[in-house]
Structure 1
Amino acid sequence: MNLLLFDPSEREGDERVRIRGHRARHLREVFAASPGHVLPVGEIGGRLGTGTVLQVDGDDALLAVTLERDPPPRLPLVLVLALPRPKMLRRLLRAVAEFGVSDLVLINSERVEKSFWQSDLLGGAMLRDYCLAGAAQARDTRLPAIALRRRFRPFAEDELPALCAGRRALLAHPGATLPCPASPAGPLLLAIGPEAGFNTFEAGLLAAAGCTPVSLGPRTLRVETALVAGLGRLGAPGALA
Structure 2
Amino acid sequence: MNLLLFSAADLCAPGEIRVADQRLQHLHSVHRAAVGDSVRVGEIGGLMGEGRITALTDRQATITFQLDCNPPPKLPVTLLVALPRPKMLRRILRGAAEFGVEHLVLFNSYRVEKSFWQTPVLNDATLRSYLLQGLEQSRDTVLPAVTLERRFKPFVEDRLPGLLQGRRGLLAHPTPGAGAAPSTADTPLLLAIGPEGGFIPYEVDMLQSAGLETVSLGPRILRVENAVTALLGRLLAPAH
What TM-score, normalized by structure 1, do the two folds share?
0.95
How far apart are 1:33 and its partner, in Å?
2.1
How far apart are 1:96 and its partner, in Å?
0.5
Q: Deviation string for 1:110-134 (max 9, x for gaps)? A: 0001110010110011111111111
Q: Which position in structure 2 is the counterpart of 1:192?
A: 193
3-state secondary structure, aligned to 1:12:
strand
Q: Deviation string for 1:160-195 (max 9, x for gaps)? A: 011112101100001152111221422110000001
- More displaced 10-residue stretch of structure 1: 125-134 or 32-41: 32-41
Q: How many residues align?
A: 239
CA distance in 2, matches of 1:59, 1:112: 43
How many percent of aligned residue pairs carry the same amino acid? 53
CA distance in 2, matches of 1:123, 1:59: 28
Q: Which position in structure 1 is the counterpart of 2:48?
A: 48
Matched, 1:216 2:217: yes
Q: Which position in structure 2 is the counterpart of 1:89?
A: 89
Matched, 1:135 2:135: yes
Inter-CA distance 184–23: structure 2 relative to 1 (3 Å threshold): closer
Inter-CA distance 29–224: structure 2 relative to 1 (3 Å threshold): closer
Q: Which position in structure 2 is the counterpart of 1:229?
A: 230
Matched, 1:201 2:202: yes
3-state secondary structure, aligned to 2:112:
coil
Matched, 1:35 2:47: no
Inter-CA distance 155–219: structure 2 relative to 1 (3 Å threshold): same
Quick check: 2:82–2:193 contact (8 Å CA) kept in 1?
Answer: yes
Q: Could you tell me which amino acid in structure 2 is paired with residue 159 of structure 1?
A: R
Q: Which position in structure 1 is the counterpart of 2:105?
A: 105
Quick check: 1:25–1:59 contact (8 Å CA) kept in 2?
Answer: no
Quick check: 2:75–2:185 contact (8 Å CA) kept in 1?
Answer: no
How far apart are 1:102 and its partner, in Å?
0.5
3-state secondary structure, aligned to 1:161:
helix
Q: Which position in structure 1 is the counterpart of 2:182?
A: 181
How far apart are 1:233 and its partner, in Å?
1.6
Matched, 1:62 2:62: yes
CA distance in 2, matches of 1:235, 1:202: 28
Quick check: 1:2–1:137 contact (8 Å CA) kept in 2?
Answer: yes
CA distance in 2, matches of 1:180, 1:138: 24
* Alignment RMSD: 1.4
Quick check: 1:28–1:56 contact (8 Å CA) kept in 2?
Answer: no
What TM-score, normalized by structure 2, do the two folds share?
0.95
CA distance in 1, matches of 2:169, 2:189: 6
CA distance in 2, matches of 1:129, 1:184: 27
Equivalent residues in 2 for 1:153-192 (5 A)? 153-176=153-176, 177-192=178-193
Quick check: 1:17–1:64 contact (8 Å CA) kept in 2?
Answer: yes
CA distance in 1, matches of 2:239, 2:199: 29
- More displaced 10-residue stretch of structure 1: 4-13 or 26-35: 26-35
